[in-house]
Amino acid sequence: MVSTRPSHLADQAACAVHSAPGRGGSRRVPRQRTAGESAAARWAAHRGVQAVGCVIAALWAAAFPLVSDLSNQIFWGAVAAPAYGLAAVFCLGLPRRIGPRVGAAVALFGAVLLPLAVLALRGRHQSEVMVVERSARLLLHTGSPYLPDPRVVTDFNPYLPSMALFGLPRAALGTGNGLSQVLGDARIWFALTFLGCLLGGWRLLRPSRDRAPVLPLAVLTASPLIALALTVGGVDLPLIGVCSLAMAMAARGRPVGTGLVLALACTLKWTAWPALPVALLLLWRLYGRRRAARAAVISVGVSLAVILPVALGHARELREQVVRFPLGMTAVHTPAGSPLPGKVLAGFGPTGHTISLTLLCLGGLAVALWLLAYPPTSATAACDLLAVGLTVAFMLAPAGRFGYLALPTVLVIWPRLATRTWTWRHPDPARHQMPVALVG
């Protein structure tokens, strides 16, 4: 019997299959790395490169006590910088087999676990954490996560209703003792969601017999981009994980899981909405209209079921706090700001603000046309498209900060680590599994 799969897919699959056993007991042949991928792997394994990365991270962290005026960021930098420096020493000085692992453990402890524990026990965090925890209490008592008449910046809740879920542990546990102080902290649940979703995506895209990605996940989590947000309370962490998991599920052809995960993403923050068409188009291209339609019905239906009750009962609060406030269209302006193009333009007054919004719309249209012209055929390609769209949005939005770029950065890096593919041109192993043709 000869396989009837089209020849062009067969050619693609021949270089994409992995080494997990197939359904009939057959063994798949691992995809051969390209020269570029092999070079990247060698560079990543070089202890000198690892040490340089740790030194750059140490310098980055050491800059916060000098340039930041936020006490939590200053504390994080003062604790994390020595940890990164010590990690560099271990990467260079210890045997090659254990040096990276010890260095990653030291960086993870000094840049994440220690400062997070200290800040959580002291109840110190960014204002976003307080907003999320307050939104959960409001949701339980009033049915809406939004204050009716916000007057100062911290009164505004720019998140969609599902973000209040991360504040429920605080509402349930309170702050009576040290254990409840830590377990009720929304940051803990941000981090657990982020890590759990990345692990889930890894298991979907990696061969089933591969070990858990302890070292890659530790290095990513300990990197300054993630460690700082995780420690002080970045609300984008769960969004990063959920979007990554949605693309992995779509690549594996799981419409129900894809729809539910997309619904969670789309009810956390409106910045996750671009993930919906990207994941659905990926499902359509790989598995056909029926699965894509099923995922679309589930994601849109669940999203509407979550958002509509709040939108109908508290339309003004939702519009002002979730839409107008992040776009800088309210009397109270969001403190989010970095010298990105959109923020700089908005600083020139109403005309600059209008130009910023116009460019944002044009950028979104360009990415949408790109998506239709070159639809993704792998999780890596889908994450790349989503990363480009989000980068355009963050760069051109009237209020954006450099920390938001953690989302597109992880979207670009993590699927490549999971699939062992540094280019989006090859289909992911999860989809194209071409058995060896048998003649019977």
Tens of pLDDT along the chain (440 residues) come to: 333 333 343 334 334 434 333 333 334 444 555 544 555 556 566 677 888 889 999 999 999 999 888 889 999 999 999 999 999 999 888 888 888 889 999 999 999 999 999 999 888 888 889 999 999 999 999 889 999 888 888 889 999 999 999 999 999 888 778 888 888 899 999 999 999 999 999 989 886 666 667 888 888 999 998 999 899 887 888 998 999 999 999 999 999 999 999 999 999 998 889 899 999 999 999 999 999 999 999 999 999 999 999 999 889 999 999 988 887 777 777 666 567 777 677 777 778 778 888 887 888 888 888 888 888 888 999 999 888 888 887 777 776 666 777 888 888 888 888 887 766 554 444 444 433 333 33
Interatomic CA distance for residues 360 and 400, integer angstroms: 12
**What's CA 393's distance to the chain center, in Å?**
15
Interatomic CA distance for residues 232 and 228, integer angstroms: 6
Query: Quick one: DSSP state of residue 113?
Result: I
Determine the pLDDT at residue 85.
94
**What's CA 260's distance to the chain center, in Å?**
17
Determine the pLDDT at residue 420.
75
Strand partners, 21: 27
Q: Where are the domains of the chain?
A: 125-184+235-326, 337-430
Tell me the residue type at 30.
Answer: P
Interatomic CA distance for residues 286 and 298, integer angstroms: 19
232 Cβ neighbours under 8 A, 6+ residues apart = 70, 72, 73, 76, 119, 125, 126, 187
Distances (CA, A) of 139 to 152, 163, 166: 20, 11, 12
**Does the reported pTM lie above 0.75?**
yes
Q: Contact at 8 Å (CB) between 331 and 359? A: no
Interatomic CA distance for residues 185 and 401, integer angstroms: 24
Determine the pLDDT at residue 40.
55
Structure tokens at 121: 């026990």
Question: Read out DSSP for 206-233?
Answer: S-TTSPP-HHHHHHHHHSHHHHHHHHHT
Interatomic CA distance for residues 264 and 261, integer angstroms: 5
Axis-axis angle for helices 47-67, 224-232 (nearest 10): 40
Determine the pLDDT at residue 336.
61
Q: Contact at 8 Å (CB) between 79 and 193? A: no
Determine the pLDDT at residue 428.
45
Determine the pLDDT at residue 24.
38
SS3 content of the chain, % helix, strand, coil (to 5): 70, 0, 30
Determine the pLDDT at residue 46.
66
Interatomic CA distance for residues 208 and 249, integer angstroms: 15
Determine the pLDDT at residue 357.
80
